[in-house]
Structure 1
């Protein structure tokens, strides 16, 4: 069974996860909508989760899952847990793509994530190690990433990991897309350096 979302569903999921993440750091005027009851303490609990299974035990996670189901988005709790746990470590920065940002050079002229660490992220052999690596990657970006797009990517990672589909066109495979984004950014900035 293929577990991929349509473009419209991906956009709806991304928007909802971004709203949920922003609600975890509420200001008084932002307390409305489906996530009005969330507090900073909910984010702190999510950030302490060492594995996706622990995320499943958090009420803030179930509030997100409930809202996605209300929107008829076909996402299972065990699949969403990894994405929600990593998203709790991020700050929403619209348009800041994950893999591209990892390849972008910082002030010292190095990629935010070294090529070796990027390869380790790409070759994780289980969900728990991928969860830890993805959290570290978000930390290397100072937490700033487009949370909605990241959540969609992380869900795709889970689906591809659990049920590899050899018929999936290469351009739609997450690992290949992330590699293209990372190296495009890394090499683009290298090409701009004076000789």
Structure 2
């Protein structure tokens, strides 16, 4: 995924958009991509009064998010208004270069990755900065003592996705078990981007920085924690 120089918008210093208060560690997204994604998600999801506290940018029209959530393939996502807004913002960060076979391939890969991200992120209703999906899935269900939101078996299946459509389906199911909340939209997208890289054979040298380990580490750490008093 290319990293390019760009002008930083004034709102990029707003922690409510950037999520930098928690100093989120990302494995695949750049800081500029994280900013662009969160602002897009906020405009897609938040109601106007809540959005106005964060940015002067207007909310997207009603129904835009609903159309995106009904898509279950990469191709259908790419045709939505919601994705066009996201992709336009991402593309505006990239310097124009002379087209080559290699740059076209990279752009196609980037398009697919961000279409998957858009399909998954649109399910999130409310987020918690710095909270990974794996941690949320490993947390105990309300009113239980040792039952995680996602079972170990389903979690292993979540790690074993082989196609974009399979990942969209399983991540959406995982978010539903998570209550579609209390997960960082940036860290959620970061895991999708990391998975996409690995599907292309681009593995990080350190095993601890790979998709399965990062997800599992957060999940099993949460599994090991005792429920808080009153849960």
- Give the TM-score category using the shorter length: 0.7 to 0.9
The aligned residue for residue 22 of structure 1 is 42
Match of 1:177 in 2: 214
Q: Write the mapping of 1:39-188 to structure 2, written as runs, cut at 5 A.
A: 39-72=61-94, 76-91=110-125, 92-107=127-142, 108-109=144-145, 110-144=147-181, 145-165=183-203, 168-188=205-225
Calculate the TM-score normalised by the size of structure 1.
0.84
SS in 2 for 1:121: helix
Q: Deviations over 1:124-177 (max 9, x none)?
A: 222211110001001111111111221121111111112243x62112111111
- Unpaired runs of 5+ residues, structure 2, are 4-25, 96-105
The answer (yes or no) to whether the contact 2:28–2:193 under 8 Å persists in 1 is no
Q: Give the TM-score, by structure 2 length.
A: 0.72
Please report the RMSD computed on the Cα atoms of aligned residues, expressed in angstroms: 2.7
Q: Please give the alpha-carbon distance, in whole angstroms, between the structure 2 residues aligned to 1:162 and 1:97.
A: 23
Kept in 1: contact 2:28–2:190 (CA 8 A): no
Is the Cα–Cα contact under 8 Å of residues 13 and 152 in structure 1 kept in the other structure? Answer: no
In the alignment, structure 1 segments of 5+ residues that lack a partner are none
Return the alpha-carbon distance in structure 2 between the equivalents of residues 9 and 119 of structure 1: 24
Q: 1:8 to 1:185 in 2, by over 3 A?
A: closer
Q: Number of matched residues?
A: 187
For 1:7 and 1:78, how far apart are their aligned partners in 2? 18
The CA distance in 2 between the partners of 1:93 and 1:41, in whole Å, is: 24
Choose 1 or 2 for highest CA Rg.
2
Residue 119 (structure 1) shift? 0.3
* 1:68 positional shift: 1.4
